[in-house]
Homo-oligomer: A and B are copies of this chain.
Amino acid sequence: MADWWAVSGGITAPKGYRAAGIAAGLKPSGSNDLTIVVSDVDAIAAGVFTTSQVRAACVDYCRQRLAAKPSARAILVNAGQANAGTGEKGWEDAQESASLVAQALGVESDQVLVASTGVIGQRIRMDAMRTGIPEVVKQASAENGEIAAQSILTTDLVPKAIALETRLHDRPVRIGGMSKGSGMIHPNMATMLAFVTCDAAVSSHLWQDMLARAADKSFNQITVDGDTSTNDSLFALSNGQSRTPAIMEPGSDADRLEAMLTEVCIHLAKAIARDGEGATCLIEVQVTGAADDQAARRIARTVAGSSLVKSAVFGRDPNWGRIAAAAGRAGVSFDMAQLDIDLGSFALMRQGQPLEFDRQAASQYLKQAAEGAYLSGEDTVLITISVGSGGGSGTAWGCDLSYDYVRINADYTT
């Protein structure tokens, strides 16, 4: 099906992008904390942001920027201070950060986007930014995709990056991406951030639509603890440097680009779910037979986010009752006499009736996932649900709920 393949390089794999990550002194730990992604030419820029009423200054800043002009030359990311709950001063800090990047790059300051992650309620350490920004801009190179993916992290266990390539009209087109986030693992430490670069030529209107749809199938379908952060942001640039024909309207080229964009977003989103606090495995919930895709996605999300389902997976308990109960409360109408549930290859329920199954073998399946290699796919628990004969389908991802989740989230300041 998929007519693309993986390539190395992450966020700088597409043509015409450079990146860098340095330790600017924002994090007490002294590890890398300032990251930049630069496009050599003006890129079409789209964004999807947190729907929370409590938003960081950088989120409001970028929303306003992109609404005024959907293009950008660079995105700056600081890790350490979230710049949320910082009022007027927070806005000024976001603005100054963008100006400093623009100055260093020799572009207009309205061509720079900014993203922050770290402790809520703390202003960005601007003294560190003033020396760090010229330095990080200077180091930007096409070889630094991996360093950039590492530098945007806060409490994540592993960097999350991918790049895919396809051919459009016999020329290579690439999409690269990186993300961070593992639940709000530190007190006040929030934020899922994701960045996508592409070298196709595409209209800004199409690009924004594609990104919104891709986000609905990926980042909006993952749940670590049900909490949405103040800073959640997804940015996507496309700079046309592949020299492929411009995609100006819907059609097969647009469809292919969107499919690859969606795949990149799903990969980055799954990586975040898998890196959830205390998680021992990834949970993938596939729903079919719903009235429409939206309904299916909602059921999938509710099951993946159920504390009871998550605890059962951690306990290696093949508990169809909790799966059925979570599906039932998703707020989507279906006939329970048509409910089928499978766990991996084990049929747990057919037509609303529980089946006899080998509980021990099913428990072993859950155990194997916890012991499966990280991000190899072997660490995935697959739950499939059919709720009827409708054409709607959808998938969501989560992680199990372990003692470590509670430990990580409870034992901080006291």
Count identical subunits in the complex: 2
- Is the C-beta of A414 less than 8 angstroms from some C-beta in chain B? yes
- On whether the beta carbons of B414 and A120 are closer than 8 Å, the reply is no
Give residues of chain A (367-414) contacting chain B, Cβ–Cβ below 8 Å: 367, 401-403, 405-407, 409-414
- On whether the beta carbons of A328 and B53 are closer than 8 Å, the reply is yes
State A349–B68 Cα separation when bound (angstroms): 32
State A402–B119 Cα separation when bound (angstroms): 24
**Contact status of A413 and B359, CB under 8 A, knowing A54-B339, A308-B184, A407-B403:** yes
CB distance from A119 to the nearest CB of B (A): 8
Q: Which of B188, B225, B228, B315 contacts A321 (CB under 8 A)? A: B188
State A55–B311 Cα separation when bound (angstroms): 22
- On whether the beta carbons of A184 and B322 are closer than 8 Å, the reply is yes
- Is the C-beta of A325 less than 8 angstroms from some C-beta in chain B? yes
- On whether the beta carbons of B403 and A328 are closer than 8 Å, the reply is no
State A332–B326 Cα separation when bound (angstroms): 24
- On whether the beta carbons of B317 and A410 are closer than 8 Å, the reply is yes
**A329 contacts across to B, CB distance below 8 A:** 50-54, 227-228
**A412 contacts across to B, CB distance below 8 A:** 315, 317
**A411 contacts across to B, CB distance below 8 A:** 315
**Contact status of A413 and B326, CB under 8 A, knowing A306-B226, A336-B53:** no
State A354–B86 Cα separation when bound (angstroms): 8
Give residues of chain A (198-238) contacting chain B, Cβ–Cβ below 8 Å: 225-230
- Is the C-beta of A333 less than 8 angstroms from some C-beta in chain B? yes
- On whether the beta carbons of A230 and B337 are closer than 8 Å, the reply is no
Instruction: Kindly report which residue of chain B lies nearest to residue A348, judged by CB atoms.
Output: B121
- On whether the beta carbons of B308 and A225 are closer than 8 Å, the reply is yes
- On whether the beta carbons of A414 and B363 are closer than 8 Å, the reply is yes
- On whether the beta carbons of A337 and B227 are closer than 8 Å, the reply is no
Classify the secondary structure of A's interface with B.
loop
- Is the C-beta of A316 less than 8 angstroms from some C-beta in chain B? yes
**Contact status of A352 and B308, CB under 8 A, knowing A52-B325, A322-B184, A401-B406:** no
- On whether the beta carbons of A53 and B333 are closer than 8 Å, the reply is yes
**A311 contacts across to B, CB distance below 8 A:** 405-406, 409-410
**A17 contacts across to B, CB distance below 8 A:** none
**A406 contacts across to B, CB distance below 8 A:** 311, 314, 401-403, 405-406
- Is the C-beta of A70 less than 8 angstroms from some C-beta in chain B? no
Give residues of chain A (330-352) contacting chain B, Cβ–Cβ below 8 Å: 330-337, 339, 349, 352
**Contact status of A54 and B401, CB under 8 A, knowing A311-B406, A353-B85:** no
**A53 contacts across to B, CB distance below 8 A:** 327-330, 332-336
State A119–B354 Cα separation when bound (angstroms): 12
**Interface residues, chain A, CB within 8 Å of chain B?**
50-55, 84-87, 119-121, 183-184, 187-188, 190, 225-230, 305-308, 311-312, 314-317, 319-322, 324-337, 339, 349, 352-354, 359, 363, 367, 401-403, 405-407, 409-414
Known contacts A54-B327, A225-B307; 19 further A-B pairs (Cβ under 8 A): A52-B329, A54-B325, A54-B339, A85-B321, A87-B352, A120-B324, A120-B325, A187-B312, A226-B305, A227-B307, A227-B308, A228-B329, A308-B409, A312-B409, A314-B410, A315-B412, A319-B413, A401-B406, A401-B410
